[in-house]
Each structure stands twice: as structure tokens, then as C-alpha cells.
Structure 1
Amino acid sequence: MTKEGIEKEKDMPIIWEPNLIEELCDVEVVDVSCGLDHSLVLCGDETLLSSGSNVYGQLGRVNQDSGMHPVDIKFRPLSIASGMGHSFAVCQNHTSDVTEDSPIVVSWGWNHNSQLGRNGLANIPLVVEALSSETPITVSGGRAHSMAITARKELWTWGCGRNDRLGLGSSADEPEPMVVEDLEGCEVMEAVAGFDHSLVLIGE
């Protein structure tokens, strides 16, 4: 099925020059994120839109039509992020047992190396349960690994561990988020997952 999807997308047009997205002319856009060949747009009314390739389910919606359409997400998105073929949203969780407004991370898309950090259908936006009690603030996706910073300024990583890109001291894949112990005691201000590497900004 994935192979068929890739073949179908070979005939899609390529636009080399920047163009106004007419569908969004009258929409307040508050956040955007791009993967390898898919895009996410967060609107001011809290609608999350996706467009582009859906070979790995990275658009997070049943609607397979091209163009901008809403992601099938049941939480209120606060911010978004994209890996190569997977997607994230940091959302408000009004059903949390921790606090009423405790943020959660929701993921969907390509999950070959467990970069979604959770089980379940890959094309459906679902909660990364291992971060539910950690108050995640930001999230970042690489090719096949992912990272998140929590309110305690801790760094959590998961997915493909090859060449120690997770910072956990091994090359093993991690199916769920793990705290990077070498950075415990440090204030992690920012963390970005590159294609196959990671960068972290530490506060003084």
C-alpha cells in the first residue's frame, strides 16, 4: 500500500516559486511546520490542517483528498512539529488527571523506528502516554527519532537510536520517550532533531 502511494505521488506537480495559499487567505495562521513532503498549519480558531503526502499517514486524517483539510484530532492543539514522515501536536488535555490544563503530546505518521513514541494505529493522532505526566512544552521530529522538552527543562528522546542520536549512550531504538540522564541537572532551553542528529541548547 505504501509503495502504491509513492507511485501515485510521482505525477504530482512541483512548484518552485513561493505562492500565496489562497485557501488560507482569510484564515489567521498561528503556526506552521513542514516534513519532507507534508505540511501542517495551525489556525487561530484551533483548527489543525494538513496537506501533502500521506503515504505514511502523516496527514492524520481519513480524508485522502489533496489540499488543506483538517486533521482528525480530538484535542486542542497549542503547537505543532513535523519529522520527515511523522507529525506532532502539543495539545491541551482537558481530561488529564494531573491538572485540568496539563499539556500532552499527540503523534501520527511513519513509525518504522518507533518515532511516534506510542502504540496504536499510526495514521490516527494518539497520545504519547509516556509523556502525559511530564508536562511537555515543545517537541521536535527528525527522520526517524523524536525529542521533547518538559516544564522541568528535561530532555526526553525516543525512536531510532543509531549513532547515539538519542543521547542515551547506546544505538538501540527506544519505543517510548526516555529522559536523557546525561543532561539531568541542566536547564534544556531548546532541542531540535535534525535528519539523523540532535542539537540541544543548555541554559547557564
Structure 2
Amino acid sequence: QAVSCGDDLVTLLSDRGAVFCVDSTHTPFTPSDVCFCCFSTPKALCNIQVSQVACGSQHSVALTKDGQVYTWGQDSRGQLGLGKVKTDANSPQHLRSLSAIPLVQVAAGGEQSFALSVSGGVFGWGRNDRGQLGLGDTTGKKKQNTYIHVHVLKIIHISCGKDHTAVLTKDGAVFTFGSGQYGQLGHNSFRDELRPRLVAELWGAKVTKIACGRYSTVLKQLHRDISPVQLPVCDGSEVKENGL
């Protein structure tokens, strides 16, 4: 049903809601070698149906079908949302502070994580040194009590790069924030944005999908595709790895 990859971790989600993980640093493989004998299911998720998985550089986030969030992996920047200092987790940890909030999506970037509620509320935690949490500052957050405001628009999707973030609203508008080092924010500059900023060149367009690579952002507009070259973003020539 879905696959998500970090720097060393590959996570698969089956159509029955089962999660399978493999750490390529311990179990190296090439695409032709992939088989389910290489993968293992985290014990904490063995009897739980999962609807979404997302991987950051060294951590993973899962959303269950009943709206609960689990995180595991490296927690050097608070990306697991456990509220502790540098407490890595080898097994999925339940984020109980989000239990009462009806959630529809989780997303993960380099060392940041997000959860999206049914009402369009966005909760972010983890690394924030480039403003990738969109809070107007560069202070990291170790808990999920940070709420991101994008005017009065309802957010329906979140995508994360290594240290930048893009959100899509119900009306088809796109806001980006975080690192602009390679032009990945689409604002005709290489500046960082600490708060969500509307991509003005898309004004009036109806964007239906967004996806962030490591240092890039790709959009799909209703009835036609938009390539990064059509927007004032990096064409990839300045980046050794485009993350797509």
C-alpha cells in the first residue's frame, strides 16, 4: 500500500495495515534482493492496523487506523515527540498527548515530524533550526503541543524535505517554510522562511498534490503538471542529491 524511506531505514505498509521495517545498515540489499524475509514488524504494532507511515532521516512515524500516532528511531532533536532529551526509541512509542485529536495524516522530514487533524490543524515537533516547523522562530520542539497557523485556510496535506516543509490547503494554495538554501521554497530567493509563506507564483492555480524531496518541491496542478523548472526553485544542478 505504501513505502517510506529514511537514510538507512525502509518501511513498508501492507494493504492489511501491517508495518514491515528493515535497517539497511544491518541488512544491506539491492532492489533485486528485496524479500519479506529481510523485514520485521515492530512488536508494538503487531496487532494494530496502520493507515500511514512516514520516515525522517533516522526516525519513523505511524498513524493507526483509529487515529493514534506512534514514533520510533533517533530522537536527537526531539523528532519523536517524547518530551525527553536525546532518548532514542528502538520500538514504537505511543504519543498519548495526541490521542484525543482526530488525525488524518502524519509526515516526517530530516529531523522534524508533523500530524494533521481532521479540522486542518497542524502539529509539529523536532528540529527547527531553519524554521521548518513554521512557528516563526528557530527553537526546536520536543513535544507535539505546537500548533501552526496558516491564516484561516484549511490544510489538507503536508510534505517534508530534509529541512523544509510544504503544506497544501483545501483551496489548492501552497505554503512553504524552512530552509530556502537551494530555492526549494519557490519564493524566488534562497532565504529561509520561519513562517508559512504563500507561493505567490501559484496564485489562482488549483494545486492538487505536493511532494518534497530532500532539497526540492514538486507540485501537481489541476489538468497539468508543474515541474520545478517552471517555478523559481532550484533545477537540481546545485544539489548533489535531489532526494526524489
Into which bin does the TM-score normalised by the smaller protein fall? 0.7 to 0.9
Matched residue SS, 2:110: coil
Superposition CA RMSD, Å: 2.0
CA distance, structure 2, for counterparts of residue 185 and residue 127 of structure 1: 30
Q: Determine the structure 2 residue equivalent to 1:98.
A: none
Q: Determine the structure 2 residue equivalent to 1:24.
A: 45
5+ residue gaps, structure 2, are 1-22, 28-37, 224-244
Query: Offset of 1:27 from its aligned partner?
Result: 0.5
Query: Offset of 1:132 from its aligned partner?
Result: 5.8
More deviation, 174-183/67-76:
67-76
CA distance, structure 1, for counterparts of residue 93 and residue 123 of structure 2: 18
CA distance, structure 2, for counterparts of residue 163 and residue 14 of structure 1: 29
* 2:78 and 2:140 in contact (8 A); partners too: no
CA distance, structure 2, for counterparts of residue 146 and residue 111 of structure 1: 11
* 2:173 and 2:198 in contact (8 A); partners too: yes
Which of 35, 57, 65 lines up with 2:78 in the alignment? Answer: 57
Q: Determine the structure 2 residue equivalent to 1:106.
A: 123
CA distance, structure 1, for counterparts of residue 150 and residue 68 of structure 2: 23
More deviation, 82-91/125-134:
125-134
Query: Offset of 1:130 from its aligned partner?
Result: 2.6
Matched residue SS, 2:211: strand
Query: Offset of 1:140 from its aligned partner?
Result: 0.6
Q: Determine the structure 2 residue equivalent to 1:80.
A: 106
Flag the 1:80–1:38 CA change in 2: closer, same or farther, 3 A. same
Aligned residue pairs, count: 184
* 2:54 and 2:107 in contact (8 A); partners too: yes
* 2:124 and 2:148 in contact (8 A); partners too: no
CA distance, structure 1, for counterparts of residue 192 and residue 48 of structure 2: 40
CA distance, structure 2, for counterparts of residue 114 and residue 123 of structure 1: 15
CA distance, structure 2, for counterparts of residue 161 and residue 107 of structure 1: 19
Identity percentage over the alignment? 26
CA distance, structure 2, for counterparts of residue 72 and residue 158 of structure 1: 27
CA distance, structure 1, for counterparts of residue 77 and residue 140 of structure 2: 11
5+ residue gaps, structure 1, are 1-11, 93-101
Query: Offset of 1:21 from its aligned partner?
Result: 2.4
